[in-house]
């Protein structure tokens, strides 16, 4: 059965309730990750999973609330490895390759010193062998790729398609992703204003993970209206795409107020008649 775990469901504003964006998805027995916002690695372990279980990581865009934990994830995956894991594949819009190189690139990466120490000092080598590794210990190899819209990855039972969405161009490129598999289909909107490319990508999906940052009255007439999705936009997108259910994500902290939360769900349901779910961190989402 497919599984979806919410690791991060918020915005750049930190809180003890939600912060940043990140999801774990299991399809065909394989675990993959979508975005890697602040504390994503910690919340992954709090959910009972390990970084070494993830072989595919997809970035929607490179705002910090979607990629700030990337160094922690890469270092944790390497530090806990025994040298027999699959090579990590990382996909994302422009800057994905650059970011990866600046984190772990040989001689130039911000944490290359850590890799040198852990592949040479007896303390780290002993721990590596104790976990089941065989010397010599090799530096991690990461297959990071800047991708364009279209089919971007395939597995034995799944295929992932990316589509451009409209967020903060021209400063950052943004992508939404659709996963089609024998077990169902799911779409991650990433951060975006309502746009036809997202509606087309999500057509008929079993689950749409949709940004829903504000109530309509708090959204209209602001800069958010040109770059993000409110309750009305989330409802209309889910309706127009004909998805079977929608998971609201990336909520502003104002919506933690129970009255505001109830109003937000009501506003989405004004346009969309299917099941509306509210993303909370560490929850597993049925779909």
Contacts of 284 (CB under 8 A, 6+ apart): 3, 4, 5, 6
What is the distance in angstroms between the CA of the first residue and the CA of the last residue of the chain? 9
Q: How many CA atoms lie within 13 A of 23 on its CB side?
A: 27
Domain 3-278: CATH superfamily is Ribonuclease Z/Hydroxyacylglutathione hydrolase-like (3.60.15.10)
Tens-binned pLDDT, residue by residue, of the chain (287 aa) = 789 999 999 999 999 999 999 999 999 889 999 999 999 999 999 999 999 999 999 999 999 999 999 999 999 999 999 999 999 999 999 999 999 999 999 999 999 999 999 999 999 999 999 999 999 999 999 999 999 999 999 999 999 999 999 999 999 999 999 999 999 999 999 999 999 999 999 999 999 999 999 999 999 999 999 999 999 999 999 999 999 999 999 999 999 999 999 999 999 999 999 999 999 999 999 87
Peptide bond into 136 cis (omega under 30): yes
The span from the CA of 227 to the CA of 211, in Å, is: 11
* Euclidean distance between CA atoms 125 and 138, whole angstroms: 11
């Amino acid at each position: 059965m497919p599984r979806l775990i919410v690791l991060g469901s918020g915005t750049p504003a930190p809180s003890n309730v939600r912060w940043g964006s990140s999801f774990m998805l299991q399809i065909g027995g394989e675990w993959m990750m979508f975005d890697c916002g602040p504390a994503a690695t910690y919340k992954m372990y709090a959910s009972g999973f390990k970084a070494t279980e993830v072989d595919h990581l997809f970035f929607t865009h490179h705002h910090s609330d979607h990629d700030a934990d990337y160094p922690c994830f890469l270092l944790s995956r390497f530090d806990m490895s025994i040298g027999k894991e699959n090579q990590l594949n990382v996909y994302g819009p422009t800057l994905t390759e650059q970011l990866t190189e600046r984190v772990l690139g040989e001689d130039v990466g911000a944490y290359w010193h850590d890799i040198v120490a852990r592949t040479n000092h007896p303390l780290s080598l002993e721990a590596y062998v104790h976990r089941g590794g065989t010397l010599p210990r090799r530096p991690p190899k990461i297959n990071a790729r800047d991708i364009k819209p279209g089919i971007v990855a395939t597995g034995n039972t799944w295929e992932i398609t990316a589509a451009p969405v409209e967020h903060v161009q021209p400063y950052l490129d943004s992508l939404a992703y659709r996963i089609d598999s024998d077990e169902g289909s799911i779409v991650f909107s990433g951060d975006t204003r309502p746009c036809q490319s997202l509606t087309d990508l999500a057509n008929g999906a079993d689950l749409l993970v949709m940004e829903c940052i504000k109530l309509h009255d708090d959204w209209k007439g602001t800069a958010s209206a040109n770059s993000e999705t409110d309750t009305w936009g989330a409802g209309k997108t889910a309706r127009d795409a004909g998805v079977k259910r929608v998971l609201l994500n990336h909520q502003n902290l104002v919506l933690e107020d129970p009255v505001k939360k109830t109003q937000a769900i009501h506003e989405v349901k004004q346009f969309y008649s299917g099941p509306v779910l509210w993303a909370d961190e560490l929850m597993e989402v049925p779909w």
